[in-house]
């Protein structure tokens, strides 16, 4: 399949290129080559590549900064996605778009399902929801994948931040009352690979819509950081201190409960649930090698 990946400078795009490169005819464009807020750039890139599928990883992802620059967040995650969705429709390609657990308010217990009411509490979450809405309005063939707590060797993410702090001997305070599921970008890419296989090989009239995807099991940020420390095999005395979110102030409030129900995506695409724990070990090993 001819696949165009947007947001080429980001962590998900880089992992997708590694994972899918040998199976599909891939083009990966960064922001300077394919700016989703520019109609001219979209038409140029789509005319050149004529993809069957566009995987949109491009986004404004600075959750805290978005609170002070909402115009930019809405321009990329809202308007940019609207332009991309309508261009995909015009070029008759499937749009696989990444969205976020931040579209839920996180006030309820249990696992969020796709048809649960959305109620984002942050500028980032609101801008991502706007993008989702535009896709639903203007795109015929789309899959919106809401995912959470991504980590990989690329860019900035929680795992790498905790790793660096512990590796340099620091103690670190981590909240223990926000729940969700870490998701390895590698596992997400394997899963997107399964979606592409389905698109290529099966009759697919009624699969378009919204899907949750995260790895399992659900945990909290404190226990996630304990797994990182365990994989580092650093010391017998933990340097991680559990704290309540009330003691950790940030411009954007994180959802208390980000746990995603993934039964729909597993059922429709015949996938298996993947664990993030083994991926933490693999990545920490890689990072440890890099620091020697
Ligand atoms: N990271 C997470 O934990 C997480 C969790 C749930 C969902 N998601 C979603 O997953 C997707 C991928 O996330 P990620 O972690 O890979 O993000 P990332 O590393 O921040 O990558 C996003 C990329 O998009 C680029 N971009 C920004 N504006 C653009 C524009 N107008 N046109 C084209 N590209 C543009 C960015 O470039 P610059 O850096 O140069 O601006 C960056 O390279 C996003 O949709 C995000 O909302 C992420």
How close is the Cα of 279 to the center of ligand 1, in Å? 21
Label residue 137 left, alpha or beta by phi (over 0 means left) and psi (-120 to 50 means alpha): alpha
How close is the Cα of 275 to the center of ligand 1, in Å? 23
Distance CA 39, CA 49 (A): 15
**Looking at residues 1-19, what average pLDDT do you find?**
97
Q: Which atom of ligand 1 approaches the CA of 34 most closely?
A: 33
Residue 149 banded pLDDT, cuts 50, 70, 90: very high
- Say what the pLDDT of residue 205 is: 74
- Say what the pLDDT of residue 262 is: 97
Lowest mean pLDDT among 31-35, 122-126, 167-171, 287-291: 287-291
- Say what the pLDDT of residue 252 is: 93
How close is the Cα of 72 to the center of ligand 1, in Å? 13
Which of these, 18, 24, 27, lies nearest to 49 by C-alpha position?
A: 27
CATH numbers and ranges of domains, the chain: 2-156+182-215+261-274 (3.40.50.720)
- Say what the pLDDT of residue 237 is: 80
- Largest Cα–Cα separation, the chain: 58
SS3 content of the chain, % helix, strand, coil (to 5): 45, 15, 40
The overall average pLDDT reported for the chain is 95
**Looking at residues 64-92, what average pLDDT do you find?**
98
- Does the pLDDT of residue 168 top 80, yes or no? yes
- Does the pLDDT of residue 234 top 90, yes or no? no
How close is the Cα of 94 to the center of ligand 1, in Å? 19
Give catalytic residue positions: 124
Other CB atoms within 10 Å distance of the CB of residue 217: 13
DSSP structure class, residue 83: H
DSSP structure class, residue 275: B
Q: What percent of the chain has pLDDT over 90?
A: 91
Q: Which residues contact 289 (CB under 8 A, 6 or more apart)?
A: none
- Does the pLDDT of residue 240 top 70, yes or no? yes
- Say what the pLDDT of residue 202 is: 80
**Looking at residues 145-155, what average pLDDT do you find?**
97
Distance CA 77, CA 59 (A): 6
Q: Choose between 277 and 238: higher pLDDT.
A: 277
- Does the pLDDT of residue 97 top 90, yes or no? yes
Q: Which atom of ligand 1 approaches the CA of 36 most closely?
A: 32
Residue 206 banded pLDDT, cuts 50, 70, 90: confident
Q: What percent of the chain has pLDDT over 70?
A: 98
- Does the pLDDT of residue 22 top 90, yes or no? no
- Does the pLDDT of residue 292 top 60, yes or no? no
- Say what the pLDDT of residue 103 is: 98
**Which spans in the chain are helix H?**
11-20, 39-49, 70-74, 81-90, 123-138, 158-167, 185-201, 221-232, 263-269, 277-291
Kindly report the protein residue whose alpha carbon is nearest to atom 18 of ligand 1. Answer: 10
Which tokens in the block code for residue 159? Answer: 């795992």
How close is the Cα of 152 to the center of ligand 1, in Å? 13
Kindly report the protein residue whose alpha carbon is nearest to atom 42 of ligand 1. Answer: 10
Pocket of ligand 1 (CB under 6 A): 6-7, 9-12, 31, 35-37, 57-61, 76, 80, 98, 100, 128, 147-150, 155
Mutate to test the pocket of ligand 1, among 14, 30, 31, 254 (most ligand atoms within 8 A of CB): 31
Residue 174 banded pLDDT, cuts 50, 70, 90: very high
**Looking at residues 98-120, what average pLDDT do you find?**
96
Q: Which atom of ligand 1 approaches the CA of 12 most closely?
A: 16
- Does the pLDDT of residue 40 top 80, yes or no? yes
């Amino acid at each position: 399949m001819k696949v165009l990946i947007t947001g080429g400078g980001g962590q998900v795009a880089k992992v997708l290129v590694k994972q899918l490169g040998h199976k599909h005819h891939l083009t990966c464009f960064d922001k300077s080559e394919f700016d989703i807020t520019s109609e001219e750039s979209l038409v140029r890139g789509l005319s050149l590549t004529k993809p069957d599928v566009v995987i949109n990883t491009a986004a404004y992802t600075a959750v805290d900064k978005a609170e002070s620059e909402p115009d930019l967040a809405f321009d990329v995650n809202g308007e940019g996605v609207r332009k991309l969705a309508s261009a995909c429709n015009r070029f008759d390609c499937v749009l696989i778009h990444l969205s976020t657990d931040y579209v839920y308010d996180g006030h309820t217990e249990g696992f969020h399902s796709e048809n649960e009411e959305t109620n984002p509490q942050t500028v980032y979450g609101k801008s991502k929801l706007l993008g989702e809405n535009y896709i639903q309005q203007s795109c015929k063939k789309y899959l919106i994948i809401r995912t959470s707590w991504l980590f990989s060797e690329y860019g900035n993410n929680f795992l790498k931040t905790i790793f660096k702090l512990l590796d340099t001997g620091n103690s670190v305070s981590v909240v223990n009352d926000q729940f969700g599921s870490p998701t390895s970008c590698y596992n997400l890419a394997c899963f997107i690979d399964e979606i592409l296989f389905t698109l290529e090989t099966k009759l697919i009239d009624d699969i378009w819509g919204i899907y949750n995807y995260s790895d399992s099991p659900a945990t909290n940020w404190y226990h996630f950081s304990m797994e990182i420390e365990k994989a580092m095999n650093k010391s017998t005395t933990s340097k991680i201190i559990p704290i309540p979110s009330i003691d950790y102030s940030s411009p954007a409030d994180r959802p208390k409960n980000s746990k995603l129900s993934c039964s729909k995506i597993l059922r429709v695409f015949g996938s298996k649930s993947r664990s993030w724990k083994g991926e933490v070990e693999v990545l920490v090993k890689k990072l440890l090698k890099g620091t020697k």
